Structure 1
């Protein structure tokens, strides 16, 4: 009898230890330092941006947000906090995934890796007069993440699903340089080791499929959103992952875009659904 009681007690202690470890593992920080991902300021989008995807600011100025939606070859601009959008047509209908702005140029990313660039000044018009199309720079795949550095002119493209990454724990990325005439030239590649995403998040995320990326102007860290995994990944300047944060479905319906303003405030755009409108969530930076 005592032996049975001893075995039962031992089993209970082991179960408690396992549960405690599991709970401890999942109780990491819920937000990056300086932000509270549970308390956003919400900006509802106009109906035409129900499927809002990528977002960008010009030189970090948050007065005007530039956005695109998946199905239309157009760039939308609107004062943040309003629904007074301006539409500028630049291409045919297609699966456009992200937008970025640098050195007076708008760059749009199509899911197949094609890029379209035109002067930001053209957004005053209903249609762009001349668009530079760049194709064939990347292997075939599905691309959603795009970011351009205003200072260096470097442009970064991140693969969502690519053949060369299949059955690996690596996500491929590519670096381009933005020329003064809006053309884009290959300048190298990089990779992100995502093997620690599950461990750092405390949740089973599965294969990593990034949707958008941006550099935090205060820390110079990369912030990468994955809509499929409902995760925000923070990496250092050399792409080493430092932390992973879960994005709750209560706030993040379908996170597809990310941007920062000059003050380091964080913005994440979400596609809408039958019950929710497309929106941009703002998370103000507060110095720790």
Structure 2
């Protein structure tokens, strides 16, 4: 009889502890007009277990485009559909982000090499892509964004030789001109400004993706290793820093907006969890 009561007590303790833990789940602060605690989650298939960059063409959310960091393939599908199409553009490699500019796809490899090909080529099983080398200093790169108004690509260092990631992070502006890419200018993010807005100590900022919010004229910069979302003005002055819930953001590697101002963040999976794309609806408050 004593054993029976002991077992019942143990079960009750587990149930009460679980309920209490759920009730006390930490709510993480979010940017204005978004709630990072309540995403709509789209679970990825095995082919996109290691999804990294995501983007839309002209902000249209009828098709999402993505890469993963092992295969040189462009993936594209409608969110919610399990039918994912792909086209091969390069050899196996560490591909980190992508952007579409004037119907041309640009893909960033971690060593700073870029690949480009017409978006229309996605219907081909194998794409004849152009490789761009030695445009950027040696380093590790993960963030790429296209600015259609200025005809520019923005590339952000994750870890570059010239940077001290506890002080600043460098980025480069590549101008698309007459079917060529030109490294036209450089910018930097002051990590001390990030440090001043977070409780984390000795921040070494390692960004993994970036995108531009056309509604607010702000940069949204994601860091997987820091579990952090940094918002700057259009001139890279840090305005806000948001710590991300590690339970929701397993390994956030991609970020994008659509034409309705909805925010999307992609997460790589691991041995226990699938990769996913999280959608955060624009809340017009």
TM-score, normalization by structure 1: 0.87
The answer for the alignment partner of 1:157 in structure 2 is: 155
Hey, what does 2:271 align to over in structure 1? 274
Inter-CA distance 134–233: structure 2 relative to 1 (3 Å threshold): same
Is it true that 1:286 corresponds to 2:283 in the alignment?
A: yes
Q: Distance in 2 between matches of 1:134 and 1:114?
A: 6
What SS does structure 2 have at the residue aligned with 1:164? Answer: coil
What is residue 83 of structure 1 aligned with on the other side? 82
| 1:56 match | 55
- Shift of the alpha carbon at 1:225? 0.2
How far residue 202 of structure 1 moved from its aligned partner, in angstroms, is 2.4
Q: How large is the Cα RMSD of the aligned pairs?
A: 1.6
Aligned counterparts of 1:79 and 1:28: Cα–Cα separation in 2? 30
User: 2: distance between equivalents of 1:142 and 1:200?
Assistant: 25
Quick check: 1:197–1:205 contact (8 Å CA) kept in 2?
A: no
Deviation track 1:211-240 (CA, whole Å, cap 9, x = no partner) reads 000001211100000000000000000000
Using the TM superposition, give the Cα deviation of residue 29 of structure 1 relative to its aligned residue in structure 2, in angstroms.
Answer: 7.7
- 2:244 and 2:108 map into 1 onto residues whose CA distance is 24
Residue 196 (structure 1) shift: 2.4
TM-score by length of 2: 0.88
Distance 1:201 1:58, change over 3 A: same
Task: Show the 5 A alignment for 1:139-288.
Answer: 139-166=137-164, 168-181=166-179, 183-204=180-201, 206-288=203-285
**Within 1, Cα distance between the matches of 2:105 and 2:161?**
28
Equivalent-residue separation in structure 2 for 1:112 and 1:176 (angstroms):
16
Q: Is the contact made by 2:28 and 2:244 (CA closer than 8 Å) also made in structure 1?
A: no
CA contact (8 A) 2:166 2:203 kept: no
Work out the number of aligned pairs and report it: 260
CA distances 1:23-56 after superposition (whole Å, capped 9, x unpaired): xxxx998111000000100011111000000000
238-247 vs 172-181, which moves further: 172-181
